[in-house]
Structure 1
Amino acid sequence: MASPKILITGASGYVGGTVLSQFLTSSVTEIQRASLSVLVRKQEQVEKYASQGVTACLLAGLEDTTAVRQLASQFDIIVHNADSTNPAAAEALIYGLSDGAQKRGSGTKPCLIHLSGVSSLGDLTASKPRSVISHEFSDKRDDIYSYMKWRESVRPYSQRTTDLAVIDAGEKANVKTYIIKAPRIYGRGTGLYNKKSVHIPLFINGAILAGRPEYIGDGSGIWDDVHIIDLAVFYELLLGKILKNETVPTGHKPFFFVQSIRHSWRELAEGIAAAGVKNGALKTTETQSIGLSEAASKYLGGDADLTEISCASNSITKADLAHEMGWRSQKTEEDFQKSLLDDFNAAVSI
């Protein structure tokens, strides 16, 4: 693919901004030669990205799927980090890529790299308590697509709905799709705007208000964790292979897990407590269990279903395909604990 045109959505966000930074400083020749553009909502962002040598495409939002599709048709590859719960927007991006490829008569398939998460695989630990570790999903061994199809038929969930829409639309439109299912992400981002993760600052702010960190139920649900830089490095590795026309290993469908260490929600609360005491924002390392409805009211606007699946579920994955591609996490448990203190320092300095 000669001088490919790449569009990055969500570049002002935590993951998208860090991924863009990784691409801009990449040592991969094919990435250096690519034309990078970002999708933005504000005029001042256009000028900011221009100073980095990045073209910014101004669009009111992803809701205008006609405009999204038209914009997507101008690109060869889209790295979609903007919204993992909007199937219509993802489909518009895919069909736009297909439109452009057909118009240009390109013999190379366009590609979409889509950011998702592992909550769509999560089982329930609060409404259905359990103390054992459930299935560890492998992106190489397990048929993630069929499993999610079955889960979706039982109970739809927007993130899972979008994943399935991406795969189905890609096959229909002859567009290669790759879905990165990230776990809990930690660490300071390197983008121009949002540098904070989601889960950990949410619980740190809750701990400051309550005087101690909280977890839901018995806190036994376990999630993997990955540092934002390690995640961005995998994006770089995957994009580099695509641009070099190298074979990218996939399982039954192109899902990729990127995990490093793992913690239960209770262990996360205990880490937050230790960091809070060290920072001085908390007076005790004690943690506290709260009920699902109380947690939903405090943290996610009263949505108990979303709270349970995203803040109390059990979702364990194994990054077999990433490892096969040569990716290895460079961050450790020590880095994770340091990041908790860094997030506390950021929270109390606001």
Structure 2
Amino acid sequence: MSTKTIIFLTGATGYIGGTILQRLLSHPKADTFVINALTRDLNKAAQLSSLGVKTVIGSHSDLDKLEDSAAEADIVITAADCDDVSAATAILRGQKKKFLETGKAPILIHTSGTGVLVDNAKGMYASDVVYSDTDISLIETLKPSQPHRPVDILVSEAGAEGYVKTHIVLPSTIYGIAQGSLFDKGISNPQSVQVPALIIGGWNRGQGGMIGQGKNIWPCVHIEEIGDLYMVLFDALVSGQTIPNGREGFYFGESDHYLVYDLAKSISVALAELGHSKSEEPIPFTDDDRQKYLGGRYVLAGNSRCRADRARALGWKPSKTTKDLLASVKPELKALLASGRIKE
């Protein structure tokens, strides 16, 4: 019987999941892990196999595979679609099966996001409401209709039942180009979503901008530092530490806060330098612009304010600030050009 820790990871070819997998592969105790990663891409599965990662060929739609893989694992780390209730239910069903067979509660590290906190400001005002990951009663006032909340509730309640130890990581605006062999080989996606969305929208419109006046506030975190948070949490768990889980198991990924206008301004300046913004001053995306250039989405339109108090108490030490976020815009733009996602 193997004494190795079996890990099941979803989202391995993504931005966050690839970062987690990169850390697991280079972990000092990597030889004590068996990593099973879900992917639908046969070519990427072959590449992952060459790195010593076992693959499960499938997607979130393959509920039986999710259940079986979770039932086999000691630790499940989800970094794919955080709004897929059916997939989350299948994974938890597998973990409950593991508990009933062994009498030991397996571990779930679930990736959500601070979008769960977002309000309807539409860029017109800042909010004074700041959530702490230690203030569970305030988190529990969030409506079930909030983004990501249905799965967060499902995971938290499963942890409260006791058959699984659940930990929910909630990254904020993640920025920076992910580094490592998984990204160099094209196995995992090296870029985030929110900042590139505003860059691409401004590039295609020919003018940088934001929703409303950009008076709303968001937290931010660099991809390497959110990777650090997952590993701080992971290391605490595999070492046998008793850390907050279940109802208490929320961990915000926040290193600083920024005014969305300031991000839009940095994007406008970068675009103007390349002749793709009429001025360095950002202007609002109209409803028509939003449909045409942002895919109909309200990108970074509300307030999402939080403090990573529990995450820091666990030993996470992010040091990057809003200055680093704004400085990341030009490299992000260059990467989008290099990848062909925007064209000169």
Tell me, yes or no, if structure 1 residue 134 matches structure 2 residue 128. yes
Offset at residue 346 of structure 1 (A): 1.5
RMSD, aligned α-carbons? 2.2
Deviations 1:266-295 (A, max 9, x none): 11101112233345544531211133x335
Contact 2:95-2:163 at 8 Å conserved across structures: no
Taking structure 1 as the reference length, the TM-score comes to: 0.88
Q: Please report the TM-score for the alignment, with normalisation by the length of structure 2.
A: 0.89
Which amino acid letter does the alignment assign opposite residue 161 of structure 1?
P
Q: Are 1:267 and 2:262 an aligned pair?
A: yes
Residue 197 of structure 1, CA deviation: 0.4
Q: Distance in 1 between matches of 2:271 and 2:20?
A: 29
**Would you say the 8 A contact 1:163–1:179 is kept in 2?**
yes
Structure 2 Cα separation of the partners of residues 93 and 315 of structure 1: 28
Tell me, in whole angstroms, the C-alpha distance in 2 between the residues paired with 1:216 and 1:4. Answer: 46
Q: How does 1:69-148 map to 2 (within 5 A)?
A: 69-103=67-101, 105=102, 107-126=103-122, 131-148=125-142
Unpaired runs of at least 5, structure 2: none
Equivalent-residue separation in structure 1 for 2:115 and 2:219 (angstroms):
11
> Residues 185 and 197 of structure 1 are in contact (CA less than 8 Å); yes or no, is this contact kept in structure 2?
yes
Matches within 5 A, 1:130-279: 131-148=125-142, 151-152=143-144, 156-172=145-161, 174-190=163-179, 191=182, 192-249=187-244, 253-279=248-274
User: Who is 1:22 aligned against?
Assistant: 23
Distance 1:161 1:235 in 2: 22
168-177 or 198-207, larger mean C-alpha shift: 168-177
Distance 1:239 1:330 in 2: 20
CA distance in 2, matches of 1:217, 1:99: 49
Aligned with 1:35: secondary structure? strand
Q: Among residues 318, 329, 332, which one is paired with 1:340 in the alignment?
A: 329
Between the aligned partners of 1:9 and 1:167, the Cα distance in structure 2 is 19
Contact kept, 8 Å, 1:45 with 1:56, in 2: the verdict is: no
Equivalent position amino acid for 2:173 in 1: R
Please report how far the alpha carbon of residue 109 of structure 1 lies from its aligned counterpart in structure 2 after TM superposition: 1.3
Secondary structure at the counterpart of residue 77 of structure 2: strand
The answer for the alignment partner of 2:33 in structure 1 is 34
Residue number in structure 2 paired with 1:319? 308
Q: How many residue pairs are counted as aligned between the two chains?
A: 332
Identity %: 29
Pair 160,199 (structure 1): closer, same or farther in 2 beyond 3 Å: same
Structure 1 unaligned residues grouped into runs of 5+: none
- Which segment drifts farther, 248-257 or 117-126? 248-257
Secondary structure of 1:62's partner? coil
Once structures 1 and 2 are overlaid, which stretch shifts more, 316-325 or 260-269?
Answer: 260-269
- 279-288 or 233-242, which deviates more: 279-288
Q: CA deviation at 1:326?
A: 1.2
Q: Secondary structure, in 3 states, of the residue corresponding to 1:315?
A: coil
Distance 1:193 1:232 in 2: 14
Tell me: CA distance 1:144–1:15, structure 2 relative to 1, closer, same or farther (3 Å).
Answer: farther
| SS of match in other structure, 2:13 | coil
Q: Which amino acid aligns with 1:95?
A: R
SS in 1 for 2:148: helix
1:337 shift after superposition: 2.8
1:150-195 superposed Cα distances (whole Å, 9 cap, x missing partner) = x12xxx2451111111112343461111111111110012343211
